[in-house]
Structure 1
Amino acid sequence: MNNNTVDKSVLNTASVKPKVLLDDAPLSKFHIKIAGLTFGAHFTDGYILGIIGFALTILTPQMGLNALWTGLIGASALIGLFIGSLVLGWISDHIGRQKIFVFSFILITVASFLQFFADSAIELVLLRILLGIGLGGDYSVGHTMLAEIAPRKQRGVLLGSFSVIWTVGYVCANIIGIYFADSTNPDIWKWLLASSTIPAIIILLLRIGTPESPRWLESKGRIEEGQAIVSKHLGENIVLDRQEIASDAGFKLLFSRKYIKRTVFNCIFWVTLVIPYFAIYTFLPLILESFGMSSNHSTDFLLNIILLVGAFLGIYFTAKFSRRGFLIWSFVVLAAMLGMLALLPSTMTLLLVAVFGVFTLIMSAVSNLVGVFPAESFPTEIRSSGVGLATSVSRFGSAAGTFLLPLSIANLGIQSSMLILVAVLLVGLVVSVLWAPETKNLTLNRASKD
């Protein structure tokens, strides 16, 4: 045989790539695409919830709104988030992720646009509830879609990055709100609210044609369809890790003996973080004034920078440390900082600013975990329902906090109101110490046992 002749069978064998499980697939353009489409939703969410504070300062005197209506408008999108995440998350576990992935942004786009034509407080409340329903559905499905496709090594960073993108959207809303705050146009609040149509319609168009989650297809026994999607978008050598075909357990399994602690933990840790977050930052000018700190462009710019730095810091902490440890110590610091804000005299301005800065930094950082823990805590057949339930409970709490805070400050004062929020954070701390699982490096073919 000629020495230069190579056996073709050896070549063919060498060219065949070894099989790799979906959880261990290398990060690819497809992963980045799904992440980008999901991140776009969080940018829109942050923008929508950030812009309302500036619109309220303009439309409140224009419409003659009292504290009740101001609270309702501020909380309306969060009320919708409660409904949408609960209902659309449950539907997603039954009909698939992709349909809700697109439908949610149809609602968001339409409701955003129609805000321009709102002429009364009740119209605005109803439209923002509709907006929130779309956002709630997207929270449930977006986190789930990305968790089910992302490699486990990068999953924490990708899921944790939701908070960064949300913060970018929130900061963009602040910048635009500050820029137009002094406008003499009486309809500027309509333009501010309707401006969320721009990112919403872009995301909607880009999402058309997104494939179904292969893990969801596999859980329904449609293994060949799921594998075809994996092979097409990630490579022929990437394979689904076989799991049992799921039964239609729904919410019953979430509250079964096996998952009840996970369910309660995810609901409580999330809600105890977002109650002070939304209550404080929705009415930031009022809070700063109550603490004796002036709210101006310089203060707003500084806080926005801290929010962004905290969000990026949270990605690093999520990748570097255990999920459980990061969460528990964040609750400790947040409760301590907010307690100091409540008890320090208003004459200690510099110290108050420093304490509020640390509170803002850590709150922004630990908010990364709300995109990580719920998506990693449940098996495929109830993942969207679990994420949806946790999102729903968190948004109910944040809506209640946003609605009640101005009433609490007016009737109880700033000190008592902040101490109530400290108590909320301490509840989150206790529940996290007792029940927080460690989900880092977890494979998602089945949720790990408690």
Structure 2
Amino acid sequence: MAGSQASYRSTAESGEAHALETNNELAALETRTLGWTQIRTCLIAGAGFFTDAYDLFIINIASSMLAYVYFGTPNLPKDWDLGIKVSTQVGTLIGQLFFGWAGDRFGRQRIYGFELILIIIGTIGSALSASAVHGFNVLTTLVIMRFVVGIGVGGDYPLSASITSESSSTKYRGALIAAVFAMQGFGILASAFVSAIMVAAFKSAINNDINNLDLAWRLCIGIGAVPAVITVYYRLTMKETSRYTMAKVKDAERAAAAAAEEDESLKAKLVPTESSGAPTAPVLSSSDSPRPSGITEDRRVSYLAERDVDEKDAGTGTDGGGHPAPRTSQGTHFTTAPAAVVAPTEAQSPGYWSSFFKHYSQWKHGKILLACCVCWFSLDVAFYGINLNNGVILNAIGYSSSEDPYENLHQTSIGNIIVNLMGTVPGYWFTVFLVDRMGRKTIQLMGFGILVVIFIILGFAYNAMLEASVAVFVVFFTLAQFFQNFGPNTTTFIYPSEVFPTRFRTTSHGLSAASGKLGAIVAQAGFSQLRDIGGTNAFVPHIIQIFAIFMLIGFGFTFFLPETKGRTLEEISGEDEG
């Protein structure tokens, strides 16, 4: 028992030493000034969101071009329009869930960049979709490729948000995460500019033969692969975040403590006698402790950050589940071991999901996950309901209703530029500059509240406003874009990267973001099916009224969320409580 007690003391002392080491590293991270490392991380993550937004919203003008080429009308048939737009959202939802889980399972760095590879493959595949002027082959292929793009876009949400959050000091964290997301605004604006330039460049060709738009829409979509190709190398070569690495070490030390507290009968099973192999009382030393042998204290952090996947890939020295089997004093491996003996990240442990559900079954934690999910769902019903149908709305108010294909496409492109330049982009950057001053909760409540009022006005005064002045409608429509982004569209992205513990962060962010995409799917399906009830675009004002209801729901659930301004991630999530 003397050896066992010595082992426990050794484990406790190493835990205390690591606690001090962890606190020192966190202190250094929190006092870090805004330098090139944080800016570089922000740029690499933001470039991906630029690509994401471009790929998502270029489909607005591309779908109109497709409609002219394959159907001779300014709009695709409902089913095809819905299929092309919703396939991306479904893929995004799946990508958010999968990459969210994978970020906790394998580490952020190990998979960061693969989501961009999927975007590149899907974007190029979309641009090269099989062409059949009198058939649907091109549209079927496009639906499939847009689904692939969506999976990649979805992966960007939990990974980029968590990496930026975990790499930032408290002072600048909100602004940096918001800046990453704000690159969406530039991506949306770029899609509008590219479409306008492409339409102008093809003016003569369009007037000569409408089928020349078949090349124009392919170029519009294909350009989206360029920023992704430029960025993918930098993502694949990024280092693991310090907080994730430290969380892995903490999990390993929890396992060591758990092993030390096992009762005598269980510990006896871990060490055979030298003569017969029958279990005897454990004889533990520092080399026999649950930490893998040969790993010194100064190498422990880097080892734990790299160990799990390497050992699983090698297929040696494991218990069949990718975990190192415990060793006897002679160095031989057992074939089984209690899960507590070795603890990689919790996402890799057999009890990860039970731990996950146990954590969120507590109302103090569960209400935060619920609020993040409901707020993001509510916001995206309106955000994507409007932004994926800008052309339809502009056409409905008579802004881009020309019978001439060139004029209609040109007016739609210019209308998108005006709305995005005046509303979307400024809204994002107001949040960047004010989020660490005003706070996340204040901005989210303000945004939801103002959007309730705007959508009520637009919905109930729709016809009267259009009869009086289309310009007045455009002003309110632009204000809606502004307060979506200087409001819940940005804060619903920031919150999940701050309020969840490190071991569950990307999984929880993925769940929150996927809830948003479910809202986007509902919005797109609903908008497509409802808009022509009572006549062409006759139901649009009632759809806007429905948006107001969802904004009110988001406003209410925001009260479940804490204010995270000026607080460390460990303080917010409760990780500093042990």
Deviations 1:355-396 (A, max 9, x none): 222212111212221331110110100000011111111112
CA distance in 2, matches of 1:297, 1:44: 19
1:150 equivalent in alignment to 2:171? no
CA contact 1:324–1:437 (8 Å) conserved in 2: yes
Contact between 1:376 and 1:442, CA under 8 Å: does it hold in 2? no
Moved more, 390-399 or 288-297: 288-297
TM-score where L is the length of structure 1? 0.87
Deviates more, 1:405-414 or 1:215-224: 215-224
Residues 267 and 394 of structure 1 are in contact (CA less than 8 Å); yes or no, is this contact kept in structure 2? yes
Query: What is the CA-CA distance between 1:224 and the residue it aligns to?
Result: 5.6
Match of 1:214 among 242, 246, 257: 242
Aligned residues of 1:377 and 1:447 also touching (Cα < 8 A): yes
- Please say if residues 23 and 444 of structure 1, whose CA atoms lie closer than 8 Å, have aligned partners that are also in contact: no
Deviates further, 24-33 or 337-346: 24-33
Alignment counterpart, residue 285 of structure 1, candidates 368, 385, 391: 391
Is the 8 Å Cα contact of residues 379 and 446 (structure 1) preserved in structure 2?
no
2:100 is matched with 89
Choose which of 541, 544, 553 in structure 2 pairs with 1:427: 553
Aligned to 1:9: none
**Preserved CA contact (<8 Å) 1:376 1:447:** yes
Distance 2:385 2:100 in 1: 25
Letter of the structure 2 residue corresponding to residue 288 of structure 1: L
Are the structure 2 counterparts of residues 297 and 92 from structure 1 closer, same or farther at C-alpha, using a change threshold of 3 Å?
Answer: closer
Moved more, 31-40 or 20-29: 20-29
1:319-398 matches, within 5 Å, as 319-344=436-461, 345=464, 346-349=466-469, 350-366=471-487, 367-398=489-520
- The partner residue of 1:188 within 197, 212, 216 is 216
Change (3 A) 1:446 1:87: farther
Distance 2:480 2:180 in 1: 20
What is the distance in 2 between the residues matched to 1:418 and 1:34? 38
The DSSP-based 3-state class of the residue aligned with 1:372 is helix
- Does the 8 A contact of 2:161 with 2:493 survive in 1? yes
- Could you say if the C-alpha distance between residues 253 and 113 of structure 1 is closer, same or farther in structure 2, counting changes exceeding 3 Å? farther
> In structure 2, do the counterparts of structure 1 residues 260 and 29 end up closer, same or farther at CA, with 3 Å as the change threshold?
same
Q: Judging changes above 3 Å, is the alpha-carbon distance between structure 1 residues 245 and 275 closer, same or farther for their aligned structure 2 residues? A: same
Instruction: Report the Cα offset of residue 163 of structure 1.
Output: 3.1
Q: Give me the whole-angstrom Cα distance separating, in 1, the residues matched to 2:344 and 2:542.
A: 52
Q: How far off is 1:299 after superposition?
A: 3.3
Please say which structure displays the higher CA radius of gyration.
Answer: 2
Which residues in structure 2 correspond to 1:393-404 (within 5 Å)? 393-404=515-526
Residue 129 (structure 1) aligned with residue 147 (structure 2): yes
Counterpart in the other structure of 2:179: 161
The structure-2 alpha-carbon separation of the partners of 1:121 and 1:216, relative to structure 1 and needing over 3 Å to count, comes to same
C-alpha spacing 1:253/1:154, structure 2 compared with 1 (3 Å): farther
Partner residue in 2 for 1:414: 540
Give 1:247's aligned residue: 346
Cα deviation digits, residues 54-98 of structure 1 (max 9, x gap): 110011232334201101101221111100010111111011111
Hey, what's the Cα distance between the residues in 1 that align with 2:358 and 2:70?
Answer: 47
Runs of 5+ in structure 2 lacking a partner? 1-23, 131-137, 207-211, 253-296, 304-342, 401-410
Pairwise CA distance, 1:423: 1.1
Equivalent position of 1:116 in the other structure: 127
Q: Shift of the alpha carbon at 1:440?
A: 1.1
Query: In terms of mean alpha carbon deviation, does 27-36 or 380-389 score higher?
Result: 27-36
- Residues 60/389 of structure 1: CA separation in 2 closer, same or farther (3 Å cut): same
1:316: Cα distance to partner? 2.4
Task: Please tell me whether the aligned partners of residues 390 and 416 of structure 2 are also in contact (alpha carbons under 8 angstroms).
Answer: no
Distance in 1, Cα, partners of 2:302 & 2:396: 59
Paired position in structure 2 for 1:3: none
In 2, Cα distance between the equivalents of 1:404 and 1:226?
53
In 2, distance between residues paired with 1:96 and 1:273? 29
Rounded Cα–Cα distance in structure 2 between residues aligned with 1:274 and 1:24? 36
Q: Deviations over 1:85-135 (max 9, x none)?
A: 101111110111112212111111111111122122221111111111111
Match for residue 84 of structure 2?
A: 73
CA distance in 2, matches of 1:259, 1:308: 33
Alignment length (residue pairs):
418
**Equivalent AA in structure 2 for residue 247 of structure 1:** E
Secondary structure in structure 2 of the residue aligned to 1:410: coil
Contact 1:162 1:371 in 2 (8 A): no
Secondary structure of the residue aligned to 1:21 is: helix
RMSD: 2.3
For the 8 Å contact 1:378–1:446, the answer to whether it is kept is no
Q: 1:224 to 1:359 in 2, by over 3 A?
A: farther
Cα distance in 2, alignment partners of residues 354 and 62 from structure 1: 33
Deviation (angstroms), 1:410: 1.0
- Matches of 2:418 and 2:119, distance apart in 1: 30
1:378 and 1:116 map into 2 onto residues whose CA distance is 39
